[in-house]
Amino acid sequence: MRLYLLALNPTDSVTEGFLPAAARLGLDVTVLTDQPDSHRRTYPDIEILECDVRDFRAVITRISTHHRPDAVFTNSDHLQTQAALAADYFGLPAKDWRAALRAKDKAHLRRHLALTGADTVWSTELPAGQDPSSLAALDVPYPCVVKPREGVASEDVVLVGSGEELPLRCKEIQTRRPEAALVVEEFLAGELYTLETLGDGRIRHVLGGFHTELSPPPYFIEERLTFVPAHPEPVVEQILAQLDALGVGFGACHTEFVVHDGRARIIEVNYRAIGDQCDLLLAQLLDIPLFEHILRSHLGEPLPADLGARTDGAARLDYPCAGTAGTLVSAPGPVDLDTDGVRLTYRPLRETGERHELYRTNRDYLGVLRATGTDQATVDRVVADFLAAQRWEIAP
Other Cβ atoms closer than 10 A to 326: 16
Question: So what's the pLDDT on residue 273?
Answer: 98
Question: So what's the pLDDT on residue 291?
Answer: 98
- Asked if omega into 143 is within 30° of 0 (cis), the reply is yes
Counting DSSP H helices and E strands in the chain, the numbers are 12, 20
Question: So what's the pLDDT on residue 152?
Answer: 84
What is the per-residue pLDDT across 279-304, written as a single tens digit (0 to 9) for each? 999 999 999 999 999 999 999 999 99
Q: Identify the three-state secondary structure at position 14.
A: helix
User: Which residue positions in the chain have pLDDT lower than 70?
Assistant: none
- Four-CA torsion 152, 155, 159, 163, nearest 10 degrees: -100
Contact 373, 343 (CB under 8 A): yes
Residue 203 and residue 265: Cα distance in Å, rounded?
23
Residues β-bridged to residue 255: 195, 269
For strands 250-260 and 393-395, give the pairing: unpaired
**CA nearest neighbour of 255 among 124, 99, 81:** 99
Residue 210 and residue 319: Cα distance in Å, rounded?
14
Q: How far is CA 361 from CA 54, 152, 179, 224, 323, in A?
A: 23, 9, 19, 13, 11
Residue 66 and residue 86: Cα distance in Å, rounded?
14
Q: What is the DSSP letter of 137?
A: G
Amino acid letter, 326:
G
- Asked if omega into 69 is within 30° of 0 (cis), the reply is no
Contact 80, 272 (CB under 8 A): yes
Contact 322, 394 (CB under 8 A): yes
Mean residue pLDDT of the chain comes to: 97
Question: So what's the pLDDT on residue 171?
Answer: 97
Contact 8, 35 (CB under 8 A): yes
**CA nearest neighbour of 381 among 278, 215, 334, 389:** 389
Question: So what's the pLDDT on residue 154?
Answer: 85
Long-range contacts of 26-30 (CB under 8 A, 24+ apart): 26/1, 27/1, 27/2, 27/3, 27/70, 27/71, 27/295, 28/1, 28/2, 28/3, 28/67, 29/2, 29/3, 29/5, 30/2, 30/3, 30/4, 30/5, 30/66, 30/67
What is the per-residue pLDDT across 308-357, written as a single tens digit (0 to 9) for each? 999 999 999 999 999 999 999 999 999 999 999 999 999 999 999 999 99
Is the entire prediction scored with pTM above 0.85? yes
For strands 222-228 and 314-318, give the pairing: antiparallel
Amino acid letter, 313:
G
Instruction: Compute CA 64 distance to the chain's CA centroid, rounded to the nearest angstrom.
Output: 30
Residues β-bridged to residue 31: 5, 48
Task: Give the length of the chain.
Answer: 396
